[in-house]
Amino acid sequence: MSENDREESPATGAGEAGIVAGAESSASKKARCAVSGKERPRKDMVRLEHLRPALADRIRQAHPDLADDAMISRTEVNRFRNLYVEDLLKAEHGEFSTLEREVAESIANEQLIAENVEQQFDEKRTLGDRLADGIATFGGSWYFLISFGVVLAVWMAINVIAGATRAFDPYPFILLNLVLSCLAAVQAPIIMMSQRRQEEKDRMRSLNDYQVNLKAELEIRHLHEKVDHLINRQWQRLAEIQQIQMEIMQEARRRR
């Protein structure tokens, strides 16, 4: 063996050792999901025993052979959380609607479900809708009532002062009655169109409020279950620590 080969062999060995160590360290940062069987980073994994009992029981229904220390990816946890919420709503309401499915998916994906109904409704309005809303708003204001009363008073005053021969609408103001009838006939359907859109807006708002309240109720229930689970685990740990202390004290007494 030449001198160059002797000099290169330690460096080559060190390089191979570094590659092996890097591969082992990268492998140690990953774990296999016990549900899906896919490798995931350990930071995205959760132990089954760390989940609240209701969710853990739902996972064990589909996979009864899982151990308490089994690692499960957060994707699978969210999927089973969605299934758990679906089962819960079906048990309480007897059915599972589209709104409740959206609530379950928002809980599983940790997304917000509250929406700005006013903004969504305004974006869908056409020019005719805006015009109808503006006319309905103006027709239901004091400005319209006062101005309309002034127009009627001026109309009747002009025709009374002008007399029956020169007035364009002498008493009993037949032309004025015709104008008022046409105004009422046109204004009524416009106001009805505006009221119909207002009812649609109220319906959208009530549906969004129902989803928000349902999600809040489910989240509060989940929080109660988590708190109860944490309290039970703390009591178990305290009992284990107390048992260890008693064993140490008994061992110390025997040595004496």
Domain membership flag for residue 86: no
Nearest C-alpha neighbor of 224 from the set 75, 2, 54, 16 = 54
d(CA 59, CA 78): 11
User: Mean pLDDT for each consecutive 10-residue tract of the chain (256 residues)?
Assistant: 45 45 52 82 81 80 82 82 75 66 72 73 80 86 91 91 83 89 89 86 85 82 76 78 76 72
* Residue 172 domain flag: yes
Q: Give the global pTM.
A: 0.49
Question: What pLDDT is recorded for position 146?
Answer: 93
Using DSSP's 3-state secondary structure scheme, residue 115 falls into coil
Could you tell me if residue 73 is inside a domain? Answer: no
- End-to-end CA gap in the chain: 69
Residue type, 107: I
Degrees, nearest 5: CA angle 216-56-228: 55
Q: What is the pLDDT of residue 75?
A: 81
pLDDT, position 24: 44
Q: What does the pLDDT read at residue 178?
A: 92
Tell me the C-alpha to C-alpha distance, in Å, between residue 133 and each of 127, 136, 143, 183, 186.
10, 5, 16, 16, 14
In this structure, is residue 50 part of a structural domain? no
Question: Would residue 169 count as lying in a domain?
Answer: yes
Residue 94 lies in a domain: no
**How far is it, in rounded angstroms, from Cα 30 to Cα 218?**
33
- pLDDT at site 225: 74
Domain coverage including residue 190: 116-256
Within a domain: 45: no
Backbone conformation region of residue 70, classed left if phi is above 0, alpha if psi is from -120 to 50, else beta = beta
pLDDT of the residue at 28: 59
Domain count, the chain: 1
Give burial (CB, 10 Å; 0-12/13-18/19+) of 64. Answer: exposed
CB 117 within 8 A of CB 205: yes
Has residue 150 been placed in a domain? yes
